[in-house]
Amino acid sequence: MKAPSRPSRPRLAPTPPPSRASFGPAAHNAWHLQDGSRVSFVRKARKPRPLLISDAAPQAVEIDLARTALLVVDMQNDFCHPEGWFAQKGLGTKAARKPIPMLQALLPAWRNAGGAVVWLNWGIRADKRNLGPTVQFKGKRTADGVGYAEHSPLDHGPSLVQGSWGAQVIDALEVAPSDISVHKHRLSGFWDNELDTLLRQQGITTLLFTGINTDRCVFSTLQDANFLGYDCVLLQDACSTPSPAYVTKGVLYIVQLLHGFVASAASLLRALPPASSASSSTSSISSRPKES
């Protein structure tokens, strides 16, 4: 005798996975919304990634790659290009271009190791309304000189205006999509802009300084960084200035004495882990030199 068939059980709809959304400027600094009913303030701790810079002075320093940013200061057309604002003033570009080869080697290796890069460039308002008389005079100096936001004889647009050719990073150095770009309108990159907020939201506590000029924008920014509580390391072979050698010597002395440490980009480059051991989420760019 055939057994009576059992009624088929109704099929249940699959349980949807719990919904989760994140809100924050970085993966390690975010709130998490769970199923629309609970918000978690618990941040995911970043694993320290220690790296020793052995030639730093007055002592060797150990940095945390996960909390360090490499600052590249003012490597832009109006300072470094042979047709830029400074070159057309007769100031030349030899000193301004000196850091290029080291940065071409260091930047890709630094990114491959998972390090953050911040480009800090002059980028002023076209109307100059936040530039005081001292700044405007020092940029022009004579009645017929070419000042901030004015046009040079070989016209590439208004000098150092945000969005102009002169405010752009030189072609010899590539800006990666993962990099952060910040405009400034003073020698110090921390004055009256968002640099401090951006760094803190990304969890950055240590800054490595490169670019131009060692005794001007690099030094002013480093001083303010120290005053704000950042760890500061000046990479002297990735910086340059047209000022006399004794000026750089004085800056290096003051940095070591009061503001932080002085090291070499060459030593940092040797200490970086190979690309194969770096985070796969870090984007890399070609290190092939380019001419601007």
Phi, psi of 62 (to 5 degrees): -110, 120
Residue at token pair 């002013």? 220
Cis, peptide link before residue 213, omega less than 30° from 0: yes
Which one of 74, 179, 224, 237 is the catalytic residue? 74
Bridge partners (DSSP) listed for residue 184: 122
* 231 part of the active site: no
Give whole-number Cα distances, 189 to 113, 196, 274, in Å.
Answer: 25, 9, 31
Residue type, 221: T
Q: Is 192 left (phi over 0), alpha (psi -120 to 50) or beta?
A: left
- CA dist 267 and 63 (Å) reads 13
Cβ density class 227-236: b for 16+ within 10 Å, e for less: eeebbbbbbb
Among residues 128, 179, 184, 239, the one annotated as catalytic is 184
Among candidate residues 128, 179, 217, 239, the one labeled active-site is: 217
Q: Is 217 a catalytic residue?
A: yes
CA separation for the pair 104, 109 (Å, rounded): 9
**Residue 46 neighbours by CB under 8 Å, 6+ apart:** 28, 66, 67, 203
Q: Tell me the one-letter amino acid at 202.
A: Q
Confirm whether 140 is a catalytic residue. no
Give catalytic residue positions: 74, 184, 217
